Structure 1
Amino acid sequence: MQGVWRELAGLVLPVDCAGCGRPRTELCAECRRALSRGGRGARRVRPEPRPAGLPRVWAGAPYADEVRAVLLAHKERGALRLAGPLGAVLAGAVRVLRPGGGRVLLVPVPSARRSVACRGHDPVRRIALAAAAELRRAGVGEGAGAQVLAVLRQRRPVADQAGLSARQRLANVAGALGVRGGAGRLLVEAPVVLVDDLMTTGATLAEAARALGVSGARVSGAAVVAATRTAFEINRN
């Protein structure tokens, strides 16, 4: 219900742009264009050091400026309608990852139950659903189309990743994810693309890929809305 009330409040109450703070607009035209450019400029990225098992990762934009502000507004402040433009950026990364189209399964990295309860929504799943809708509109995966399968779950609690080093993050999430019972048969029906809102060290994506691999999934790669500037710069060199 928290999410419903936030959406209703956004229809009647003045808000500031999530990207630049311009008053009385949830996302101004300038920031919307910045996100749109991100969706068209998706690039393969990699963290340094690269964790073992990390699949190929494409990101729609660097995690900075308007993109960072919009992601945080959606995730932490419940600006739910921003899922649409963020989903378009994620869809752009998926299109670059799988340029041939065809059916694709988008598997979001799961949020902790306590985080979902505190926020009132699951931000990555919401963005993934928006991305799948955008891919279907663009004709990617005709027939069955792009589909979201939220089949990953946390098998044990993990600590907040903020402030942890790359090595500590790897230890924190090692063995923490699993696939829901009975979902394995769905994962072998089409190529799988892992999706998340942000990649920093790649530890969580590597753990998610491991869990999916155990279930027999064919993981084509991972797509994220944004990645750190460092990951973008490393790939450029």
Structure 2
Amino acid sequence: MEASADLSTIVRGAFADALALVLPVVCAGCDEPDIALCAACSECLRPAPVRRDLASVTVWSGLRFEGVPARAIRALKEESRTGLARDLAPALRSAVERAGGGTLVPIPTSRASFRRRGFRVAELVAGRAGLPSERLLRVRRQTADQRGLDLADRRANVAGSLLARDAASRRVIVLDDVLTTGATIEEAVRALTAGGALVIGAVTIAATPRRNQRQSEHSADTSETRA
């Protein structure tokens, strides 16, 4: 069953890539015609790792979710422009390098999102970056859409929603696409820890800048990676 689902993901991703070659495209960052990503916008996707310390884990993100990076990630997620995964891959790789060594464990994609897109965003970008991952987390119960919820409601929404399997004694890094409040990542950390894993960090492609995080978010130039 798992092999069939993986094959379906590969086929859908290949179809989306092929479709992008024959349909008119504009730059994902600035709407310049006839190019998927112009040179100037590509430069905006150069890795600029940031660190955010959550209550249970340190999260490294390759980019800030604003401007061109935000538009590129939205184009990948909402328009299925899967070719952009290659452009975002260096940012994720830079985050993983700072998180340390461990097995990447993606947060499960909801069934609705997978049906809509046909691929798993974080896993796709990780694959383009040459970073293998293992699905050690599964959904225990479905949750409501997190959009529009405040931090407390997000935490309540995802509490107890994930369950780890085959995680005992594993050294792991949680993988997600975008860090917003961190509620889902912390639920993943809880589930993996309960399953016997050692969670050494978390990584995302990008992180949403927050005004109240300036004291806990540091640039890669001024921070030390947590071992």
TM-score relative to the length of structure 2: 0.84
1:112 is matched with which residue? Answer: 110
| Paired AA for residue 95 in structure 2 | A
Instruction: Indicate which of 19, 28, 46 corresponds to 1:9.
Output: 19
1:184 aligns with 2:167: yes
| Structure 1 gap segments, 5+ residues each | 134-145
SS in structure 2 at match of 1:147? coil
TM-score, with length taken from structure 1? 0.81
Q: Percent identity?
A: 38
2:152 to 158, 167, 180: 167
1:1-237 matches, cutoff 5 A: 1-36=11-46, 39=47, 41-46=48-53, 50=54, 52=55, 54-98=56-100, 104-131=102-129, 133=130, 147-180=132-165, 183-184=166-167, 188-189=169-170, 191-230=171-210, 233-235=214-216
- CA distance in 1: counterparts of 2:30 and 2:68, whole angstroms: 6
Give the Cα–Cα distance (whole angstroms) in 1 for the partners of residues 99 and 213 of structure 2.
16
Separation (CA, whole Å) in 1 of partners of 2:133 and 2:83:
19
Partner amino acid for 2:49? A
Q: CA RMSD in A?
A: 1.9
Which amino acid counterpart does residue 43 of structure 2 have in structure 1? R
In the alignment, is the contact (CA less than 8 A) between 1:110 and 1:124 conserved in 2?
no
Is the alpha carbon distance of 1:85 and 1:148 closer, same or farther for their aligned partners in structure 2, counting shifts above 3 Å?
A: same
Structure 1 residue 62 displacement after superposition: 1.3
The DSSP-based 3-state class of the residue aligned with 1:80 is coil
Q: Match for residue 140 of structure 1?
A: none
Q: How many residues align?
A: 207
Whole-angstrom CA distance in 1 between matches of 2:167 and 2:98: 26
| Whole-angstrom distance in 2 between the partners of 1:7 and 1:30 | 22
1:83-113 CA-to-partner distances (Å, cap 9, x unmatched) read 1122210110111222xxxx53111111101
CA contact (8 A) 2:179 2:204 kept: yes
Encode CA deviations 1:19-41: one digit per residue, 9 max, x unaligned. Answer: 111111111111111111xx2x2
Unaligned runs of 5+ in 2: 1-10, 219-227
